[in-house]
Amino acid sequence: MSAPHATRSSQPITTKGLGWHFTSPRKPQNKKKSSNTLPIPGQAFKWQKLLNELNDLLEARTSEPLLSGIAEAVSPLLQPEELLESSPTELEDISFIDDNQPCSATAEWTRTSCHTTSSISMYAGWKALIPIIIDPFLKYTAATLGQPLVTLGSRLHSCTSQCLEQKLTSILCVVSIDVLSCDCSSLPQTLISHGLFPTAPTQPRMAVSIELLSFYQALFQCSCDAINALAAALSTYYMKRGFRVTNHQGIAVREPFWRGLSQTAQWYNILQVELEKRVDNVIQQCRHLVKPSIEPLMDPSSSLSSPAAQQDSQVDAIGRCIDRARQHPAKSPQSSVPDEAIDQCEDSYKAVDGQKRKAAMDNFDNTGLMALICQHDIPLFFANIDTPGEQQKYSVSLISHLFSLLPQQANVVVLYDVGCVLSRSLSWFNILDQSIMARLRFATTAMHAYGHEWACQLVYNPCLASGLGLSDGEGTERLWSRFIKIIGIEWVLSCRRRIWLLDHHAAVIGHEMRCDL
């Protein structure tokens, strides 16, 4: 009998019996490879090293108790008002030592307490320092734009008046650098002019590279990695290089970088905000030279940059206005959609029910966000939802705020999931001014329109309405997908820090989308 064929297609055709029985070919294993066990190089040495360390720990526990430290989590961006909670003096007395040199002190983890008075003083110092370091920052940016970075020398100075009295300060930047400061150029200004950002407003002992802060800012915009991840990575990297951060007593400092990095990252962001304000002021001063037909809208981040209490009061004022308007008898304007159809739309959507809970109010102060975006999906304004349901006061407040920034001849079309219900409410009661209602038109979003009654779709469906083209109104869904990356960080943030982070991320998204127009 001949050997079986290797494939089914190569088997001979037969009309009798079952034909040739095909079996998959088997590859014999090499018994030498499967039976021999190869040792992993260095595994025995690592195993013995771990056993020795474990024995040392057990012996030390019997002689004296070990000190335990608790790691504190910090947010990537701190609200300026909450910077008062941070201790300003933990990193002021540290130095690098080489692991190859003997250390007389035992490595222990030390922590300092938080002082309210010094924290308030530090916050005031930062607020006073930011305006005076803008010019050195601009000079450094102009000198290094498109140029390779210059290696810093052992002594830095930026005196232009040849001052006789100069102060010498040692700044820690992996290695110590001597910085000369005088009356015409203070210590922070000298550091900024050489590309270093101080970790404290007055008498800093450590400085962080501005290029590193810019890199982390770009990295955070893409991956939203917390600042403590960068601090831990730097600490591990320098430990591997043989450098260890200690205080003046030679005791190792646990997590030496995260507090200083959080301070510098936050105030570096505030420095850029102040710089943008200067540019906006110059633009406002030159606006009278060229008068546009429509005034520009407010910056997307400015709606959240003011205190949250003011924004809440604005929304609450609209809510009280709606309550007062509904106490009067409803008007009966002529509508192209029957009330029965809109009533069915109102019953079929959860967003219309202002008392329906979407989140546990016992555990969360705010249950959601409502966004107002333009036709290009660029975020303009946000409103915090702090009620059990999605009440109409949030959408009305956003619309009212938008019209306060537009000229009298501008018309607006609002695409909303339940635009038919909101349009009927505004036509029944005197909630918005008649000058606004005359220039306001509503439509539903394209995907949500199919959940409405057919009589409602004939009027409010954007695909059937005239003048809307291919606008689908689903830009907010695409916007929320770009906020997914910051969900994990915001779980542990307070209210003000959460708003600050949302503001920062929305500004980044708006800037990217405006550049792509």
Domain map of the chain by residue range?
80-279, 296-515
Longest dimension (CA), the chain: 113
What CA–CA distance (Å, rounded) separates 127 from 116?
17
Q: Is the pLDDT of residue 113 over 50?
A: no
pLDDT of residue 389: 74
**What is the pLDDT, as a whole number, of residue 364?**
62
**Which pLDDT value is given to residue 67?**
38
- The average pLDDT across 439-457 equals 85
Question: What's the pLDDT score for residue 372?
Answer: 92
Residues 254/258/264/265 CA torsion (nearest 10 deg): 170
**Residues belonging to the chain:** 517
Say what the pLDDT of residue 72 is.
Answer: 36
- Output the pLDDT for position 104: 43
Residue type at 396?
V
Residues 6+ apart with CB under 8 A from 66: 57, 60
Q: Is the pLDDT of residue 96 over 60?
A: no
Confidence band, pLDDT 50/70/90 cuts, at residue 365: low
Instruction: Report whether 172 contacts 207 (CB < 8 A).
Output: yes
Task: Compare 292 and 180 and report the one with higher pLDDT.
Answer: 180
Contact, 226 vs 76, CB < 8 A?
yes
Interatomic CA distance for residues 101 and 244, integer angstroms: 11
Rounded to whole angstroms, the Cα distance separating 239 from 6 reads: 60
Decide the pairing of beta strands 412-415 and 440-443.
Answer: parallel
Per-residue pLDDT, 87: 38
CA distance 120 to 116: 6
For 505, the token pair is 């991320």
The pLDDT confidence band at residue 295, using thresholds 50, 70 and 90, is: very low
Question: What dihedral angle (degrees, nearest 10) is formed by the CA atoms of 328, 329, 334, 339?
Answer: 110
pLDDT at 399 (0 to 100): 92
The backbone torsions φ and ψ at residue 503, rounded to the nearest 5 degrees and listed phi first, read -60, -45
Q: Which residue has the higher pLDDT, 461 or 42?
A: 461
The helices-and-strands tally (H runs, E runs) of the chain is 18, 11
The pair of structure tokens assigned to 507 is: 């500004």
The H or E element spanning position 177 is strand 175-181
418-432 average pLDDT score = 88
Q: pLDDT-based confidence at 398, cuts 50/70/90?
A: very high
Residue 502 has pLDDT above 80, yes or no: yes
- What per-residue string of b and e applies to 38-70 under the rule 16 or more CB within 10 Å gives b? eeeeeeeeeeeeeeeeeeeeeeeeeeeeeeeee
Q: Is residue 161 pLDDT above 60, yes or no?
A: yes
Number of CB atoms found within 10 A of residue 465's CB: 20
| Cβ neighbours of 115 (radius 10 Å) | 13
Which of 172-181, 202-211, 315-324, 408-417 is predicted least confidently?
172-181
- 452 pLDDT above the threshold of 50: yes
Residue 485: burial class (beta carbons within 10 Å; 0-12, 13-18, 19+):
middle
The top-scoring range by mean pLDDT among 10-24, 49-63, 193-207, 304-318 is 193-207
pLDDT of residue 4: 56
- For residue 341, what is the enclosing H or E element? helix 339-348
456 contacts 336 by C-beta, under 8 angstroms:
no
Please state, rounded to an integer, the average pLDDT across all residues of the chain: 75
Written as one letter, the residue type at 261 is L
Q: What are phi and psi of 78, to 5 degrees?
A: -105, 135
Residue 69 clears pLDDT 60, i.e. is over it: no
* For residue 146, pLDDT beyond 50: yes
State mean pLDDT over 165-174: 72
When mean pLDDT is compared across 93-107, 321-335, 407-421, the lowest value belongs to: 93-107
Whether 487 has a pLDDT exceeding 60, the answer reads: yes
Place of tokens 């520009």: 296
215-269 tens-digit pLDDT: 998 888 888 877 888 888 888 888 887 778 777 787 878 888 888 888 888 889 8
What pLDDT was estimated at residue 309?
A: 39
- 3-state DSSP helix/strand/coil % of the chain, to nearest 5: 45, 10, 45
Residue 70 phi, psi (nearest 5)? -110, 125
Higher per-residue pLDDT: 33 or 249 = 249
Query: What is the pLDDT averaged over residues 30-42?
Result: 62
Out of 15-24, 134-143, 200-209, 330-339, least confident range: 15-24
Phi-psi region at 346: left, alpha or beta (left = phi > 0; alpha = psi -120 to 50): alpha
pLDDT of amino acid 152: 74
**Higher pLDDT, residue 80 or 50:** 50
Residue 383 has pLDDT above 70, yes or no: yes
Question: Would you list the DSSP string of 252-297?
Answer: BPSS-SHHHHHHHHHHHHHHHHHHHHHHHHHHHHHGGGS--SSPPP
- Using CA atoms, how far apart are residues 96 and 342, in angstroms rounded to an integer? 71
Q: What does the radius of gyration of the chain's CA atoms come to, in whole angstroms?
A: 33
